[in-house]
Amino acid sequence: MKTLTLLRHAKAGWGERGSPDFDRPLNEKGRRAARAMGRAMRDAALGFDLVVASPAARVTETLEGAGEGYGTAFDPVWDRRAYLAAPEVLLEIVQATDDAVDTLLIVGHNPGLELLTLHLTSEEDGGELRAAVLEKYPTGTLAEIHLPVDRWRDAAEGKGTLRRFLRPRDLDAALGPDGD
């Protein structure tokens, strides 16, 4: 059994006019959400053998904030391929993971994370959680997928079961949508 957790970066600001998308920082709400998600991961006793992350500023800041909430810093492998990655690229990252890793966390961007979640899980096993993903995969949200495989390369369409879909607003209504 392998466990894949996908964390979307928290809410970002737009940065300075003309600055590249890659350099967009978190806004204050995003920083609060990242810390809250870290606390939730700690409280749920989620642990990760490997963390792979996009090197974009909003992802690095999300991991810093989540680490503060978790109580220990995450030590990710920065992978440029994860920046704004299509679900096919994210699946390649998953399938190339060393089989000694049982719990993998990928931190990145939408729509890739949402589409990968939907690709790996089936409608029959998803229930309300999968319906929530179909509705929206907001910033700062975490999806946990259990894969009944021994080798990451066997992760494939519909094989996984969505076990957790946690949005910042589930932890604190003030972290929900407000039109910003």
151 marked as part of a ligand binding site: no
What stretch of H or E contains 7?
Answer: strand 2-8
C-alpha–C-alpha distance, residues 130 and 116, integer Å: 12
Which residue type does 156 have? A
Tokens of 95: 């399938």
Residue entry with tokens 């790996």: 120
Question: Which of 115, 150, 109 shows the shortest CA–CA distance to 130?
Answer: 115
C-alpha–C-alpha distance, residues 166 and 156, integer Å: 23
Q: Where are the alpha helices (DSSP H) in 18-151?
A: 28-43, 57-70, 87-95, 112-120, 123-135
Write the CA distances from 167 to 15, 143, 170, 173, integer angstroms.
Answer: 24, 9, 5, 10
From the annotation, which residues make up the binding site for substrate? 58
Residues in binding site: 58
